[in-house]
Amino acid sequence: MNQTQKKSHSKRNIVITVIGVAIILISFVIIGYNYRFSIYSDSGSISIAPGYYYYIEIKLSSFSSNFFLIISFTASGGSGNDIRCYVMDSTNFINWENGNQAYAIYNSGQVTAAFATIHLQGSGTYYIVFDNTFSVFSYKFVSYSITAQTTLL
């Protein structure tokens, strides 16, 4: 093999190696973006008195800024078998709790059951609120399941 053939063969190997590494890196990026890791999970049953609410605080901090909150719940009690569910960040939760104007990332409305996947825009403290403040006489019994997930990137 002469000197020109060795250089040509060497350049081809470098190009093939670079292309192979690029394909592997791109694959990891695609898989990492689409694969969700569970970072929080909770389920249970609660009883909420008329005129009251129950909240769950979740602190999300990770190398990711891409979070998903998956909530499933059912309510029973009273004539409507209903409850309201909100998801709020800490600022809006404090405002809501004090009767001030607040923005809910998720608002189920007054329902018996719901399932929702909520995209959260970053790390921080979030509150899932089961609200029975609209009820004057009826206790509400709520069964819930909550999972927080993040992607690799």
Domain check: are 22 and 94 in the same one? no
Please, is 44 exposed, middle or buried when counting C-beta atoms within 10 Å of its C-beta (0-12, 13-18, 19+)? exposed
Domain check: are 124 and 143 in the same one? yes
pLDDT in tens, 25-66: 665 555 444 555 668 899 999 999 999 999 999 998 766 678
Which residues of the chain are modeled with pLDDT < 70? 1-9, 21-38, 62-64, 152-153
What is the tally of structural domains in the chain?
A: 2
Domain check: are 14 and 46 in the same one? no
pLDDT of residue 26: 61
Domain check: are 29 and 80 in the same one? no
C-beta atoms surrounding 43 within 10 Å: 11
Domain check: are 6 and 75 in the same one? no
**Residue 33, SS3?**
helix
pLDDT of residue 9: 61
Domain check: are 11 and 76 in the same one? no
pLDDT of residue 106: 97
Q: For the stretch 50-66, what's the b/e string if a residue is b when 16 or more beta carbons lie within 10 angstroms of its beta carbon?
A: eeebbebebebeeebeb
Its domain, for residue 59, covers: 37-151
Residue 50's CATH number: 2.60.120.680
Nearest CA to 128 out of 95, 75, 90 is that of 90
pLDDT of residue 114: 97
Domain check: are 64 and 1 in the same one? no
Domain check: are 70 and 43 in the same one? yes
Domain check: are 6 and 78 in the same one? no
